[in-house]
Chains A and B, each alone.
Chain A
Amino acid sequence: MNDLALLVAATLAAGTPLAIAGLGLLVNERAGVLNLGAEGIMLVAAVAGFAVTFHSGSDALGLVAGALAGALVAIPFGWLVIWLGTNQYATGLAVSLFGGGFSAFVGMGYVGKKLLERPDHSIPFLSDLPFLGVAVFRQHPMVYLAIALTGAIAWFLYRTRPGLVLRSIGEAPDSAHALGYPVRKIRLAAVVAGAALCGLSGAYLSIVYTPLWVEGMTAGRGWIALALTVFATWRPARVLAGAYLFGGVTMLQLRLQAQGVQVPTEFMAMLPYVSTVVVLVLISRNTTWIRVNMPASLGKPFVPGS
């Protein structure tokens, strides 16, 4: 039983960066902008967050720095894609490559450095509960933040006026423009906010999850987060569930190994990606289902007055 509790705990921790990045990308995509640069943004934020925490000694400051770094990288991306109308896929890939190289360059002085002792974040009374204590209540606050964020974003998108405006811009920017909403400014705001969340997730990786910096340390999590939004058909709660599923599969394969079960490790490692492809195939078979779920203007540039 304890083993299962530990697996749940590990899954929650492993799924959190995916969930937060996935939610950021969800906000982006709901506004109609596809940001393929997630991996690069996460790396830049990871090195920025690590550097700030290393010099300041404060985790929180580092996490905020990561979010800011992500937002800063997204501003030129947003300007290029929204105002200059460049191809979103190509620009996003460029950001991704840039982020990887830039973070490696800037981070050269930080490889091999270590942060101060990490404090223990168990909640005093709840963490002693028999199963739930180990599974749920000994996590870093970011894990709870991810869950809270899911609820907050769902509430924002579906229950508030600004959320409705955001969604409408993603579905029919021309109509929103005709109603007088500043479509491009709102899209930029969504891109920046989404990238800030990706940055937060990247900083979480380098400050909390494995407190060190090494180039390429996100190891594809940005891409998994992108796949996650499709896998979750653009719904916040499903993004969270998908993130835990992906994180869980990774931890499960490690556990099976440690218990001596001979599982081809490459098979388990590719499972998240394969399952995403399977889901994509399944939902693509039904074009109506896609039309209903995918933001209609995703990936298309908006030019007012055209």
Chain B
Amino acid sequence: MHKRSLLAILALGAIAAACTKKEEPKKAEAPAAAAPAAEAKAEPLKAAFIYVGPVGDAGWSYAHDLGRRAAESKLGGKVVTSFVEKVPEGPDAERVIRDLVAQGNKVIFATSFGFGDSMEKVAKDHPEVFFEHATGFKTAPNLRVYEGRFYEDAYLAGVVAGGMTKTNVLGFVGSFPIPEVLRNINAYTLGAQSVNPKVKTKVVWVSAWFDPPKETEAAMTLMDQGADVLLQNTDSTAVLQAAEKRGKYAFGWDSDMSAFAPKAHLGSCALNWAPYYEKAINDVLGKTWKSENTKWGVKEGVNDFVKVSDAVPADVKKKLDDAKAYLVANPGAVFKGPLVDNAGNEVLAANAVADDAWKAKVNFLVKGVEGKIPSGK
């Protein structure tokens, strides 16, 4: 029939058009899912990175990518890197990792907590490849974990927040109630309380690492409830931009976000993964790689609090510098006893300093944080 043949022609035409190269709109420089340009020699080590979000998020994944590029340029021709962005945590991640191994990558970096199970499975099948999992906890002879001491950054932000808040109510936009995020909320509150014992923190959970519309709604909700300095554990600039819109303060998270909110930005809890990526790749090249659990923070240069705004008065800046110096001298010593959770139970005895085991199992909110931890996801 006439109509059917017309439809068939249309369908074929659409397929033909999709297959031919079209004029592509301007994209960000880094292509997605790029394998390195075909190199003739097998000499340079091939390393691959997978990100949970887009490199353009100006946050978590962007920071990892900056670290990747810095490490690659520092190490010259010894390593060639590639990355895959926006990999969803779940079965698809496993497929992507296996694909990267098949492409000849000898070390794979997975930059989100949810990639852990997939990394474990592929590591078991490929003992000749090294696997590095950021913010994970499962290890194997060829799988190790690394992490920044993000709570140090959150603590520093808290010190500034405590000095800048006028309502004594702080806000936190949380992703998922996992120990990493709970540590950050607690550190933020403790940092603020160290300069201003009266502060309270309100938390809203958005159940996503990267969802700008939801992050904006959460930020608006917090500000409606009286919060005037916001911190987040999510990956976009939405919270900062929402604070700018309402004339309140917020911080950049994971990267330097000062360009996005000139008035609201007090400082950025920036991550610099270059030192770690250099070390990891050198470990593989020098055959000194061993499975361990690395936590680097302010002292090693992975965590830093940058671009402190001019709006922060000198006395608060001094307290911030003191706190930074303290963390360089005492890495990770943010949680010191006596600590009480917001239900009244003591979680850390007086004179005790929390160790890594304690920090890995944080499942409470300290006194001063309002609300309970949602159950389930």
Contact call A210/B238, Cβ cutoff below 8 A = yes
Contact call A258/B202, Cβ cutoff below 8 A = yes
- With A257-B204, A258-B222, A265-B374 already in contact, the answer to whether A205 and B237 are too (CB < 8 A) is no
Contact call A254/B25, Cβ cutoff below 8 A = no
CB interface residues, B 186-212, toward A, < 8 Å: 202-205, 207, 210-212
Residues of chain B lying within 8 A (CB to CB) of residue A114:
237, 241, 259-260
- With A10-B221, A214-B236, A266-B376 already in contact, the answer to whether A111 and B57 are too (CB < 8 A) is yes
Which residues on A are within 8 Å of B, measured CB to CB?
3, 6-7, 10, 14, 84-86, 105-106, 108-109, 111-112, 114, 117-118, 205, 209-212, 214-215, 217, 219, 250-251, 254-255, 257-262, 264-266, 269
Contact call A254/B217, Cβ cutoff below 8 A = yes
A151 to B213, CA, bound (A): 28
Residue of A nearest to B221 (CB): A254
Query: How near does chain B come to A133, taking the closest CB pair, in angstroms?
Result: 15
Query: How near does chain B come to A194, taking the closest CB pair, in angstroms?
Result: 23
A269 to B211, CA, bound (A): 14
Contact call A84/B3, Cβ cutoff below 8 A = yes
Instruction: Please name the 3 residue pairs, one residue from A and one from B, whose CB atoms are nearest each other, closest first.
Output: A111-B56, A260-B371, A112-B56
Q: Is B372 part of the contact surface with A, judged by Cβ < 8 Å?
A: yes
Residues of chain A lying within 8 A (CB to CB) of residue B171:
258
A114, A264, A269: most-surrounded residue (chain B CB, <10 A): A114
A250 to B213, CA, bound (A): 12
Contact call A10/B3, Cβ cutoff below 8 A = no
Contact call B27/A264, Cβ cutoff below 8 A = no
A86, A108, A209, A255: most-surrounded residue (chain B CB, <10 A): A108
Contact call A219/B214, Cβ cutoff below 8 A = yes
Contact call A257/B203, Cβ cutoff below 8 A = yes
Contact call A250/B375, Cβ cutoff below 8 A = no
Contact call A85/B3, Cβ cutoff below 8 A = yes
15 further A-B contacts with Cβ under 8 Å, apart from A214-B54, A262-B374, are A108-B25, A108-B27, A111-B56, A112-B62, A114-B237, A118-B245, A211-B241, A219-B211, A254-B217, A255-B221, A257-B204, A258-B171, A258-B202, A265-B205, A265-B207
Q: Is B6 part of the contact surface with A, judged by Cβ < 8 Å?
A: yes
CB interface residues, B 19-78, toward A, < 8 Å: 25-28, 32, 54, 56-58, 62
Residues of chain B lying within 8 A (CB to CB) of residue A212:
212, 236-238, 241
A105 to B24, CA, bound (A): 9
Residue of A nearest to B59 (CB): A112
A118 to B263, CA, bound (A): 13
Name the contact of A3 in the complex, choosing from B204, B207, B224 (C-beta under 8 A).
B224
A106 to B56, CA, bound (A): 14
Can you give 11 contacting A-B residue pairs, CB < 8 Å?
Answer: A84-B3, A106-B25, A117-B244, A209-B216, A211-B241, A217-B213, A257-B221, A257-B374, A259-B225, A259-B371, A264-B376
